[in-house]
Amino acid sequence: MSSQPTVQAPSDPGRLPTTLPLLMGKKRLGEPIVMVTAYDFPSARAAEAAGVDLVLVGDSAATTVLGYDATTPVVLEDMLVLTRAVRRGLRTPLLIGDLPFGSYEVSDEQAITTAMRMVKEAGCEAVKLEGGGQASVSRARAIVGAGIPVMGHVGLTPQTATALGGWKAQGRTAAAAARIAAEALALQDAGCFALVFEAIPSAVSEELMPLLEIPVIGIGAGPATDGQVLVFHDLLGIRDGLGPRFVKRYANLQQEMNAGVTAYAEDVRMRRYPGPEHTYKIDPAEVAELRSLLQR
Ligand code: KIV
């Protein structure tokens, strides 16, 4: 038996892939739906090993892995590269690709073209778009009409956070909450298979949930939604600072990574690494022959 630790936990071979009817079944039965973001092969393997239901390659990639301070700069080509890597790491969760800012707003045709690229070139099974205004609802309807399942996203929509007054909770007045309700219902009517509620008061989610027939996944929307989503880097602490109030941290990987790389750097500087166990061997007779070859 090898003494090497298992790097990738295997997925449960008996687990069935998530389908849209399976998701609806979970909603009907009141079984919580688990969604997480992923941006590369290792994060996809972690999601697979944990047996989550849905994986989103979020445009949060802009901040988590690409180093931007907002989601708006990420482009479709970035999303395609990241999503392909996630695809290679997943077997059972349904893979949803976020449509990045600027890749779907211009027209229904643009939205369909972008969604098709996410499906054909990156292996997505569904796409997500932000907003519940007239344009977003039209884009969602068009993409669904082209045969691609769409997840809607209302409340705090980071791509248009500036227009919403910044990165802050939404729906905190009756009128604002009623607007979110209208947007959610319009997206459901457009054929979305599920919705994300982001950063809205729990009491608002509680009022809206009975109105919706499709699964709703919350992030900072309280416990009433059908499921929860967190950003991979937030829940594992792969970031500086604590992040938004709704984040629960399950590990402190940034600290562990910093400590690991610091220890490695120290080992190299102190000539403690590499040790004999990290080197390849060669027959001394071959070394002697090499020496004579080099002297010629
Ligand atoms: O981009 C993202 O990670 C998201 C989730 C927060 C839902 O949209």
Residue 166: what pLDDT?
Answer: 85
Residue 12: what pLDDT?
Answer: 78
Q: How many angstroms from the chain centroid is the CA of residue 206?
A: 25
The yes-or-no verdict on residue 2 having pLDDT over 60 is no
As a whole number of angstroms, the distance between CA 86 and CA 44 comes to 5
| Span 214-237, pLDDT tens digits | 999 999 999 999 999 999 999 999
For residues 206-210, average pLDDT: 98
Among the atoms of ligand 1, which is closest to the Cα of residue 229?
A: 7
Residue extents of the structural domains in the chain: 20-251, 257-295
For residues 186-201, average pLDDT: 98
**Alpha-carbon dihedral angle through residues 82, 154, 132, 208, given to the nearest 10 degrees:** 140
Residue 10: what pLDDT?
Answer: 61
**Closest residue (by CA) to atom 1 of ligand 1?**
58
Indicate whether this model's pTM tops 0.85: yes
For residues 140-152, average pLDDT: 98
CB 40 within 8 A of CB 88: no
Q: How many angstroms from the chain centroid is the CA of residue 224?
A: 21
CB atoms within 10 A of CB 191: 17
CB 130 within 8 A of CB 153: yes
Residue 113: what pLDDT?
Answer: 98
Q: Which amino acids bring their CB within 6 angstroms of ligand 1?
A: 37, 56, 58-60, 98, 153, 196, 219, 229, 231
| Span 104-115, pLDDT tens digits | 999 999 999 999
End-to-end CA distance of the chain: 46
The yes-or-no verdict on residue 164 having pLDDT over 50 is yes
198 in active site: yes
Which residue among the candidates 130, 198, 207, 256 is catalytic per the annotation? Answer: 198
| Span 53-109, pLDDT tens digits | 999 999 999 999 999 999 999 999 999 999 999 999 999 999 999 999 999 999 999
Please name the helix (run of DSSP H) or strand (run of DSSP E) that holds residue 218, with its range, or none.
strand 216-219
The yes-or-no verdict on residue 126 having pLDDT over 80 is yes
CB 95 within 8 A of CB 86: yes
Tokens at residue 41, please?
């092969």
Residue 243: what pLDDT?
Answer: 84
The yes-or-no verdict on residue 4 having pLDDT over 60 is no
As a whole number of angstroms, the distance between CA 232 and CA 229 comes to 9
Question: Does the structural domain 20-251 have CATH classification 3.40.50.970?
Answer: no
The alpha carbon of 127 and the centre of ligand 1 are apart by a number of angstroms equal to 12
